[in-house]
Structure 1
Amino acid sequence: MQGGRKSSSVGKAFELIQAVSETGRSGITLSELARHAGIAVSTAHRYLTTLLELGVLDRDAAGSYHLGVTLVALAGQYLEEDGLRAAARPYLVELVELSGETVHLGIPAGNQIVYIDKVESAKSVRLVSRIGSRVPLHCTAMGKAVLALLDRRRAEEIVACPLDRRTPRTLTGLALMDELDLIRERGFSIDDEENEEGVRCVGLPIMNASGQPVAAFSVSAPANRFSVEDCHRLAPSALAMAAEISRRIGYAAARNGTSGTGRRAAPATAEARDP
């Protein structure tokens, strides 16, 4: 690629791959993919034939397309070598033991958060999610934790976009900006049934060596057993973990005992809710 020009063929191929990934286990047909990409069925078939040969996609007996083993292998290699995931993993496990609930790790991608790791709760009733899925920045605990620490102009640009009100509790506009100010002050975010009704989460940002929010983690649970008060009780321990993960990937402020937001981190022995 020269002069900053993009390959439309590569872009279209990735658009098709993304469409397949969003369908999950159900898969997607050739005609549906062509319609999604806005191209002729014959053109879509040509792209898909190459992707099948490369193992990037797979096709089942019914003719529906799914992600292939090549992507699984590449993703596995990436996750094994990823320093952020390795640094965070012990703390995710510890946080599950402390809270009794499911913990996610995610990284920002545009106006979304992508799940890159997950440690499941041992409880019989737990949340359904998968590594690789995407959720919005503006109405999730991880997303708001990152959004609050972005450059203010960038945050304002995102908030000014047409934002999906996923539940009656979803915050937008000035209400969301006020929420981001609060998150900046206290160091953690709460998704109070804003992304999915019946689900509540508390989220913490992870900072890199440049002082940028490069990731976040969250504790998520059914709202009927995880109250806002539980989120606040768990936050001091989670803040200490966020500071330590940030330190491990190079964030200098964490070495002085502060959290990713510059607030003093509480000791990890702070009271947490009963699992």
Structure 2
Amino acid sequence: MKSGRKSSSVDKAFELINAVSEAGQSGVSLGELAGHAGIAVSTAHRYVTSLLELGVLDRDAAGSYRLGVTLITLAGQYLEEDGLRAAARPYLVELVELSGETVHLGVPVGNQIVYVDKVESAKSVRLVSRIGTRSPLHCTAMGKAVLSLDDRRAAEVVAGPLDVRTARTLTGDALLAELRVVRERGYAIDDEENEEGVRCVGLPIMNADGRPVGAFSVSAPAGRFSLDDCHRLAPTALAMAADISRRIGYVGARRGRTDDRRDTQLT
């Protein structure tokens, strides 16, 4: 039974969160938030300070506010039961069995990819990562897979500034050229661009609107996961990506054949 009472502070906080959400990738300034909510800048600052501490909002170097990673965590139950995570999970498990390596599922948030699921390799030497970890879009396989199909986000990311994580990290025109290659072939490779000694192959997942709403990747120490391994695994992973995308409503062209998945085994 409803009490008939509600908190004006909670209402105002959600009003600010909705304003940040509507601003999208461009973000919104503190002054704009205050104007939208009809409150003083000092009051808006008090609200956003709490939301930043909770991880509900994030602030970039220019001072613009965007949605934070905590919202991904709070959405975990939905993702588990009725969304991307549930659709992808059986394929992640199968891909670990086929490749022998760790598989991640991620979603784009701002200029980062956030890990929302992971299936570990059974090998004794494997990558250290956890659900909720954030990595840059521009130098990860999952991130580049998403950027290759999202021109607006790609333009914003390439405009930088970009963190050069290793000597192999691509930026500027080199990154744009790489994204064109990724778009054409359907998968991305992180060739030690985000972390030295780690190589990954990643593929985008499309929703009913034809937008890349996530991606998954196979990641392993570069010494045992070569570029040839990445390319050899790609047809299998492409078919899986198509299946996952259809399970969440995508009706676009299909790449590969589901029946071909089990034909690929890394050695």
Q: 1:106-185, aligned counterparts within 5 Å? A: 106-150=106-150, 152-185=151-184
User: Structure 1 residues 12 and 117 mapped into 2: Cα distance closer, same or farther (>3 Å)?
Assistant: same
User: Structure 1 residues 162 and 95 mapped into 2: Cα distance closer, same or farther (>3 Å)?
Assistant: same
Contact 1:106 1:117 in 2 (8 A): yes
Deviation digits for residues 231-256 of structure 1, max 9, x if unmatched?
Answer: 000000000000000000000015xx
SS in structure 1 at match of 2:55: helix
Q: State how far apart, in whole Å, the 1-side matches of 2:265 and 2:157 are.
A: 33
Give TM-score scaled by structure 2 length: 0.75
SS in structure 2 at match of 1:162: coil
Equivalent residue, structure 2, for 1:18: 55
Equivalent residue, structure 2, for 1:8: 45
Quote the sequence identity (%).
69
1:271 corresponds to 2:264: yes
Contact 1:237 1:272 in 2 (8 A): no
User: Structure 1 residues 79 and 153 mapped into 2: Cα distance closer, same or farther (>3 Å)?
Assistant: closer
Amino acid at match of 1:113: I
Equivalent residue, structure 1, for 2:104: 104
Q: State how far apart, in whole Å, the 2-side matches of 1:249 and 1:86 are.
A: 10
Amino acid at match of 2:156: E
Q: State how far apart, in whole Å, the 2-side matches of 1:166 and 1:265 are.
A: 36
Deviation at 1:75, TM superposition (A): 5.7
Equivalent residue, structure 2, for 1:249: 248
Q: State how far apart, in whole Å, the 2-side matches of 1:228 and 1:168 are.
A: 17
Deviation at 1:82, TM superposition (A): 4.2
Equivalent residue, structure 2, for 1:222: 221
Q: Which runs of 4+ in 1 moved over 6 A?
A: none
Deviation at 1:180, TM superposition (A): 0.2
Q: State how far apart, in whole Å, the 2-side matches of 1:8 and 1:78 are.
A: 31
Give TM-score scaled by structure 1 length: 0.73
User: Structure 1 residues 76 and 138 mapped into 2: Cα distance closer, same or farther (>3 Å)?
Assistant: closer
Contact 2:235 2:261 in 1 (8 A): yes
Deviation digits for residues 107-163 of structure 1, max 9, x if unmatched?
Answer: 00000000000000000000000101100000000000000000x243122101110
Q: Which runs of 5+ in 2 are unaligned?
A: 1-11, 20-35, 38-43, 57-69
User: Structure 1 residues 129 and 182 mapped into 2: Cα distance closer, same or farther (>3 Å)?
Assistant: same
Deviation at 1:79, TM superposition (A): 4.0
Equivalent residue, structure 2, for 1:208: 207
User: Structure 1 residues 79 and 211 mapped into 2: Cα distance closer, same or farther (>3 Å)?
Assistant: closer
Contact 1:206 1:242 in 2 (8 A): yes
SS in structure 2 at match of 1:253: coil
Q: State how far apart, in whole Å, the 2-side matches of 1:185 and 1:192 are.
A: 18
Q: State how far apart, in whole Å, the 1-side matches of 2:81 and 2:49 are.
A: 28
Amino acid at match of 1:273: L
Deviation at 1:11, TM superposition (A): 2.1
Contact 2:158 2:176 in 1 (8 A): yes
Q: Which runs of 5+ in 1 are unaligned?
A: 20-66
Q: State how far apart, in whole Å, the 2-side matches of 1:125 and 1:200 are.
A: 14
Deviation at 1:201, TM superposition (A): 0.1
Equivalent residue, structure 2, for 1:49: none
Deviation at 1:17, TM superposition (A): 2.6
Superposed CA RMSD: 2.5
Deviation at 1:76, TM superposition (A): 5.2
Q: 1:43-62, aligned counterparts within 5 Å? A: none
